[in-house]
Every structure is written in structure tokens, then in C-alpha cells.
Structure 1
């Protein structure tokens, strides 16, 4: 396995990269994180690292300085630069110091993460640093009709070892994966690991079985695992091994829009139907987590004025069971934030829909009267209900959401003030700047200088 170290001063960036990249699909595993160059060097002094992803702008020690030190002390470590800087000088300096790839943070969301890792893996092969996984020295599966496989669900890094209480004879197939050709007498209980029995393997050779174990972990284990079952039985092995896993029939954008709507919040039957439909899609777990990581951010923006606390999402989900528990908890928080007994479900749904439209049409100026018509309410009653349910007038809510979006653009892009103003529905840059100063306490240009990473 290629051991990966992620270095960035922003925790959310480190966690996002570690969680949502399909590392295992490309023979990689994240073994550590560091928030600055000095801590990265300390980590490499006592841990094996093959690939380092590093930001350039960090406190204590910059990414450029870290690259120089790494080249001197650990020349075998390959480096990928991940940064907001896109100037020619920065690119040239990073490449001169031996970076094998250069990825812009602002463009990462637009790229398929699989393509990014595939490119990095190819570059590492060119450098001659990728090591082929060692073939097991025991437990030949050539004549096995069934095999019992233990998948660790809790990430313990690349050096995880079987527990001493496990039955002897376990063969390590991959990081966090062991197998037996007969059922083991003792395996970890609870949600730490999943025991899976693959049957009817007589037609598969050893290499195909090993591939099956990896394919199953990356795509099916997440959905099949049930913590209440002692062992999951898989019999359609050849079908799973050869299954076409393309997702062309699914529109991630359409799925997200469905979960941004408000109907499922108040309707238990519709919520259950949405969950069943989502599970039936069997999206790769990484894509599922990435999608709901983004949705959580949108929900928090949408309900921040009425929610008692923000929705928090796990860094990663080991199984669908764990994900569904989290999703039900998130729905309960949203439901409690919206629940106003004095109003009917229809009225509350209309107000939530209006809040959602504000978020989706940030570049358009929609008046209270126009919004009332869009959600099928009279103008005066809409304004009354909106204020009592959200605690703000529609005008104040709409303005605050636009100011928050402007802050995001100022922090994360180099776009002009005029461009940002137009994106949030203001064509007059001077008016927008005055409005921003009145509510934030400084001009947009000052806010950008103080809050850029």
C-alpha cells in the first residue's frame, strides 16, 4: 500500500481529503495528518510515508520550505501540492522542487476524485515508487469453495494487526482485511468489524477471489453490513465481481435537489420512501458521503436562524446502518427547528420552500410578494408566517443569506467585487459595498484581506 500524509493548516480540508478520496481503490491509505510543516517532518521521522499532499500557505513552516526539507531528508517521498495559489511562479517553484502533481483547491470540486487519484497513481508508477501488494504466502484459495473474510470497519491505519483473541490461521489479504478457508471461532464483536462468507467460489481462481474481496469492500460491504447479524453470506460472487458499476443513470445534482426540498421533513412516509430509493441506488460510499457533506452545509445555511444547533456530520460512515442513523438524527433536528404547532404542516412546508428558493436563486432579487405567489400564499399572510416561523422578516432573511454567500466568495475566490455583487443579486457594486459595510462592519475588500487563508 502507498502510505499517504496530508498536510494542511485547515482541519476541514484535511478531513475532507482523507474521507472523500477513494484511496483504497488505488492501493493507497492515509496514515497521518499534520497542520504545518514542522509537525509533518516530525511525523515522517517516526512513520513510513510514500506520498505527501501539502498546502503551500501554512503557519510555522510553509509548504515550499517543507518540500525542501522533505527532499533533503526523505528523498523517496513523492509530493503533490494542494493549494489556492495558481500563479506561474508558485507552480514553477513547486515543480522545480520535485512535485509530481499540482492541484488547485478551487478546482478540486469540479474534478472527479477518482480521476485525481488515478493521475497521481500513474505519476507514481512513472517514478518507480509504487509497490505491488505482496501475494499471501499461505491460505491458497485455488480450491476453496467458500471463504470467510473479516473486514475492519474502524480505521486503524496501515499497520493494523489481528487481535490476539482471533483464531490462528488468519491470512492478511489487504490492509484491514483477513480471511480463513473455514469459519473462525472468534472475531471482533459490535461495529468494529464485519464477517462475510463468500460461497460458490469453485469457478474462480486465487487472483479473481482476491479481486472479489476488494470489489466487495469498496462497493457492497457498506450496504450489506448489518451489525445485528453475526455473518453476512454472499453467494452471487461472479455477478458481483463482473458487475458494471457505472453511475451514468444517476444524476447527483437531481438527488441533491430532492434532499434540499422540504417535503420529506414533515412527511414520515415520504422520508422512508426517499431512504429506500437512496439505498437502492447503491452509490459508492465515498460519493454518498461527499454528497451529504455538501447537503449538511446547505441545511445549516438554510436553517441557521431557527435551529438550536448546527447539524454535524461524521467524518466517515462505516455502513449504511450508521449513515441512516445519522440521517434520521439530522431530520429530527431540522424537524424540531421548523416545528411550529400553531401552523399547519402545509404552511410550514411553504415557508421552508421559500427559504430554499432564496438559497437557490441567490443571483435573483425576489420580492416578498413574488415569493408568496411562488409558494401559493397571500402576500400579507406569507410575511406574517415567515417572520413568526423564522424569527426574521423575509427581507432581512434574504439579505443575510446574500451577505453570507458574499463572505464565502470573498474568502475562497479572487473574483472581483462587481462579480460577487452580481452573483448575489446586486448589480450596483457601490450599493453592495455600502450594504456589506453596514452589516459586517467593513468593506468587502477589507474583509477579503483579513480572511483569506
Structure 2
């Protein structure tokens, strides 16, 4: 990656010296001339528009001299490095400027090109050291803030020491912005690093973005310096969410549908109590997003969301009766009901998403039992319970219902028997001849029938089941990776790792760490 050139501002009341420095070969120093001023006051005006990396300034100047300029730069722009130009008679001034934080000084009368180049080397080293220290401090601050937010999100009362990483006061109000990324977990692992790089760059380039942090996968918080969520602020956040959405869709190669970023901006927060309340409101918004967001359309929300309700026994019976009537007519009628009456009922009642998904999972398990003993697989359960929207949940249910319908209409007895035998013996070594023997067909015949009726080869089907089970075990058990490999019938750790990476795009170790 190309190193960004250092921006140099020249400040001197002598025109010939400014002209000489203007044509200096800055490129050879990894720098570029960005402007000049005749005194400190003009220099500060220029800094307000474009903050330089280094200021090369004379000490004795009219209006505002180099000492006063150094003092103001250290106060307003502490990261700017300062090189002094001085005469022999100014040496006591040099000592004062160095004490204030100037990095280096050069005598005007004997200034040579090589001396200035060496000073720029010293500047770049100082900037690198400063940035390293700042990055370390930022990481520590981010970790401390994540601990604080984690406690608040889990209803715990943080101790006084937990609050040191966030400065809140009437004089420094902030907005709490909560961002949710609608992207499947395996695909998110691919884009996690680019997302956090983008957040770091935004935090560095925009003084208003105080910090960002994450507590859970696919979810981020930002603290933005702002007195109130004005239209300009919300518009800027909206553009940021569009940038994030474009980044996810550009960087990920594993998306079956478009990824989308959503954000909620709080009112201005000035106290600990205000931050806790803002987090509580954002929790309500997070749940309400299940009903309120539009797929593939990034959006920024502000204020409180419409309220959600609990799943009462009466409402559970209403759902069951609605789906029972539709199911009694036909599977097609059931699917039509899910897309129509059921979704309308859910949008009207706004049941808390977790309660609704749990109820629908139980209903679907019971419905499948009635369909020749069909079962809901672990991946199907995970997809349903992780649905980000009502429409996604309904789509998961319809897909599983359609799969049962298709299997019932197409599958021959021998293929159903083979599929069940594979599921029951997934942990064991499996091969086409062994499976063929179990169902009484030749390997060639069952291979042909299996592909015709399932759309995949026997080996592809076995691999899919093993990877789906591996994903479930890595996410929901404490088993080590080699134990998961043995559990799914791939005792070779290396072969399992390669197969898992080809299937998901990440290693099993990384997947387990980020689940």
C-alpha cells in the first residue's frame, strides 16, 4: 500500500524563504507542500480548512510569532509536528518552543537540503510513534467501552471504574448510534475486517466520530459528538449506512441475497443514566426492526419504535387455528396463508420476535411430524430462529414446507431409505457401495436415481449434511474442532478443515471463535 505523503505548511514572513521552500523537493521526503502563511494567525486559519502533518515555521514574525503559534498548535492540533526556523540570536526562543513541544529546529543561515530532509525523517518517525500510541490507546478504550456496553445490555449495573472510558457531560453531548448488519453469519466473517477498517478510517477522518465498538457479531455502536440528531446528522448517517451496505455486497462472495446496514440514532446523551436509557430504546428498536425494515434498503431510524407485545395464550391459539384451517385445505393453501393472512396478523399484533419465532418453530415441528414423520433439520432451525425480519422467517417456513411436499411427491422408497440411512450413520465411514447394499440396488443405479431425485450426488449430499451438522456443533456446543470432525464422520482433522473452509469460506477454528 502506498504511503500517504505528509502535508507541509510553511509559515514565514520572508517571501524569498517561502519561495525557496515552495520548490524544495518534498516528494523525495515522502511529503507535499500544501500551503504557506506569512504569520501564525494566517497559519491557524489555513489549519482550520486542512490540518497539515507538519508545520515549518519561523520564530520571529509579526501579528503572531512562532512561539505563540506553537502554543496554539499544541492546544488545537496536538498531532501536528513542528519544525522551527531560527537565527542564532533566537536560541532562547528555540528552547521555549522545544519545551512547548516543537520537534526540531534549523538555522536559517546555514539551512541545507540534506538537513531539512533529515528533519522530515525525524517527523515521519515521530508521527509513526504517535499513531502507534494512539492506536493502542484506542484499542484499550474500545475494549473498556465494550465491557461497559456488555454489562448494560445484559441488565447489569456497571461499577464506577467501568465508566472511565466514556466522558459524558452537559458540555459534551453525544449521540448513541446502533448499527445492525443484515448479512448471514458465514458471509459476515468474510467482511468483518473490511468493515472494521472502514470504521477506523471514518473515526480517524471525522472529528465528530468519537469512537466505535462491538459487543456482538453483526452489530456495532458508535458515539458521535453532537448536540441533537439534526437532519444533517441523520443524512450523514444515512450515507454512511449506504457505504457500509455497498462495502458488504462488494467484499462478500458468499451472499445469496443482498446484505443491508440499518442504524438507530438516539437523542443527545449527557449522563450515565441517559446512555443506559438510550441503550434500552435501541433494544426496543432492534426488536421492532423485525417488522419495520425493508429488505435491501439501508435506513437510519430515530426516536422510539412502535411497541411490541407478548405472546399470550390467546394469541398462540389464534395462530394455531389460523394455520390449522389453512393446512386442512392443502399445502398450497397453507403457504398462501403464511404469505398473506398470517403475515397481516403478525404485522398487526407485533409479537416480540423471539417469542414469535419460538412459537412458530414449535408449530412447524408438530406439523412436520404429521407429514410422514418428517423432521426439521438443525440448519433449518438455526435459519428460522435467526431470521432478521418477518418475511425472512416466513420464507424459511415455506421453504421447509415445500421441501417436504417435493420429497413426498417425487422420492422413491429406495431413495428415502438411503437418505434416512445416511442421516442415521453420518458418523460412520460412508460410500456409495455400502449405501447401495443397504437399499438393495446397484451402486450405478442408486447413483443415477439419487441425482435425479435430490439434484446432487451421494457424496455431495453426505458432505452437505456433515458440514451442516459441523456448523451446528461449532455454534452450539463446547466440542473442540477435532471432536466435531469425528462427530460428523471425518476423523482426518486436516481433511475436515479443508472441506469446512471450502464449504463456508473460513476455517472451523475461526468460525467457532466468531460464533
Task: Calculate the TM-score normalised by the size of structure 1.
Answer: 0.36
Report 1 or 2 for greater relative contact order, CA contacts < 8 Å, sequence distance ≥ 6: 1
Task: Calculate the TM-score normalised by the size of structure 2.
Answer: 0.32
